[in-house]
Chain A
Amino acid sequence: MSERASEPMSRCRPLVMGAVAYDAKVVTIWDGFRRWFADQGLPFDWVLYSHYERQVDDLLAGRIDVAWNSPLAWVRARRMAEAGGQRVAALRMRDTDQGLTSVVVVRRESDVQAPADLRGRTVATGAVDSPQGTLLPLSWLRAQGLDPGTDFAVRRFEIGVGLHGDHIGGERDAARALAAGEVDAACMIDANLLLFEREGTLPPGTRVIGQTAPYDHCNMTVGPSAEPDAVERFVALLDSMSYADAVVRPLLDLEGLKAWVGGRTAGYAALESAVDETGFYSADGHVTADDYAP
């Protein structure tokens, strides 16, 4: 039994959510939601983590009830839960968490036309723990018959390790390295391709030579200690958040969604494979990547 589960139950015990502090705005977002939940009659509190691994540890240990998890954190939480005979579930996700893709891009004048042309070249990625900037696009290249580190060199831009790619810096530095001619290709999420082209980080004429299949991103993971009634109320309130509501709209804008949608886990299959291919986590959710130190 967890520490929290052994506490005497109280009607006032808040539902406690964990979030990772990848940006200062996280405080504004969850403080705003906390007040909104309280106004709707749901006692809710949140705690901040400096990286996802401790958040997942605490979720499974029952120190928090729900976790606003990255896709990689979900993969680890699921593995740990299943190995320990516990249960976690993806409650809700943002509408913007579904159907994302990552791309591999090259400069306009590059002689690289297809993934196979990357043999012997250097590919820039985000941080070691970035699903969208590293794990998924490298897995996609692996599926094209290229072994990262063997068939081509990988230059990782380790910004915000432990944040699972939430910090944009690694992908932006990869794009800068591509623009500067230091690498032959760069990996990034489709939304960052849009951003980097519009802000001029990537020069006009940048070409996409590969795109992953659609995958899903963050989800609100419920852990073993959560009270079912509180979770039910929490989900109902998330579903009731309307973009037409002037009170929650600024918070939805900051968090980058228009609506919460049902959580689904099929969109994490590619990431599960990527984690296995790289040995990032073991089957029971232990951190096994030897070059990962959040």
Chain B
Amino acid sequence: MSPLTTTRLDLGGLGLDRGAHLLIARALAALPVGGRVVLHDAGPHLGVVVAAWCRANGHTFEAPDVVVRGRALDDRWSGAERAGSPSADGIVATASPSWGLAARGALVETGGPPADFALLRRDELWADLAVRLYAQAAANQWDPETAIDWAAGEEHPLPADVEGAVVQVMTYLIENEQAALAVPARFLGRIHPHYREVVQLLAVQVADEARHIEVFSRRATLRGGQLGTSSAGGRASLQTLFEEPDFTLAAFLLSVLGEGTFLDLLTFIERYAPDPVTAQVARLARADEARHVAFGIAHVEHAGRADPTLLGRLRSTVERRAGVLASTAGLNADVFDALVVLAAGAWAPEAIGAGHDRVLALVRDMDDGRRRRLVRLGFPADEAAELSRLHTRNFM
């Protein structure tokens, strides 16, 4: 036997009960099939247990002290392949179902059941920006308990009618945030883990919405009263978000148009909030929502580069949704009125008039923002204006 295929292994008295198999396996791994490891200074009755270990692992034991490398390990890994490479630069156009839940870049043994991830093509879910957005999202998580000065609510009691308006707005926000949580959550388990940055980002997005629901609920009940109303039209509008099975179209409707519109709404609420707690919850939620919008835009841009027909499909989606919602009331009238009162801050006729003007300005700002985003995605200005006009009156 050539010296290259025979090696001496000094076990220093270590037994298989305390890990000697690791040393033997390591020595064998460096040899070709048929290579021999001669054991020295083996632990007690090592010959007995090494023989059993060899049998179970496809090697041969030659008494009293030689282990001959078998080919079982080579056979086990003969058809194995890497699940892409570890960094985000290594993502592939289509992830293999056979990679299952393996880490990206792992060496995947053949066999086992294929994983049932419906979203496994890069261009139907990816955005390069997801890597940076996830890092940002992870770094900017905030604790609802400490990020908001809840005690300030006690120090700024509001007139009952104004408080009622704030509660109505919060009631509306909770309903919308529940939709914004459920839509990405429904996609999360369907995305192949190869695209883990998107999965991670959406997971944090879901967690963001969970916090928003918490802080809006807490603000709504700060004074212990009842919550406001939930309109059938508002719920009908949100329902259409659930009915979109395509990830790109859902991201467009929810994040680009819906959450994009909410950026203006939350800015408005922060600006005219009659108390510091309302201002704080709106500000914190807005910072998170901006990330959601950024991913939505980045993904739709990515998908559009890969699919020249995408703009047409986006347009059809908006038109179809508008058609479905044409016969519904859209925004809860109580919400519109509550925004007026919130922006008025008082019940004097001139204050209400000013509040009304501010809400109309908000609606214009929302429309401007939507048109800007649609133009960025590639729509001509007139088409962007038309699509923005067709957007749900419920804002989200």
List the interface of chain A (C-beta within 8 A of B): 95-96, 99-101, 103, 189-191, 193-194, 197-198, 202, 204-205, 207-208, 211, 242-244, 246-247, 249-250, 256, 258
Contact = CB atoms under 8 A, between A and B. Distances in A.
Q: DSSP class of B's interface residues: helix, strand, loop or mixed?
A: helix
Nearest to A203: B17
Given A101-B48, A208-B45, A208-B48, A194 B16 contact: yes
Contacts of B52: 100, 189-191, 193-194
Contacts of B312: none
B23 interface: no
Q: Across chains A and B, which 8 residue pairs bring their CB atoms closest together, nearest first?
A: A246-B111, A246-B110, A197-B17, A244-B75, A191-B52, A243-B75, A208-B45, A194-B49
Contacts, number: 71
Contacts of A249: 75-76, 111
Interface stretch (B53-61, B134-142, B195-203): B53-61
Contacts of A197: 15-17, 49
B44 interface: yes
A275 B49 CA distance: 26
A256 to B, nearest CB: 7
Nearest to A208: B45
Interface of B: 15-18, 44-45, 48-49, 51-53, 55-56, 58, 70, 72, 75-76, 78-79, 109-112
A190 B51 contact: yes
Contact of B56 (A96, A205, A207): A96
Given A204-B18, A246-B79, A246-B111, 9 more contacts: A100-B55, A190-B51, A193-B45, A193-B48, A197-B16, A202-B17, A205-B44, A207-B44, A244-B78
B262 to A, nearest CB: 49
- Chain A CB count within 10 A is highest, among B52, B53, B70, B75, for B52
B48 A103 contact: yes
8 contacts: A190-B52, A194-B49, A197-B49, A204-B17, A207-B44, A244-B79, A246-B79, A246-B111
A204 B14 CA distance: 11
B93 to A, nearest CB: 24
A258 B55 CA distance: 9
Contact of A243 (B18, B53, B58): B58
A260 B36 CA distance: 24
A249 B72 CA distance: 10
Nearest to A253: B76
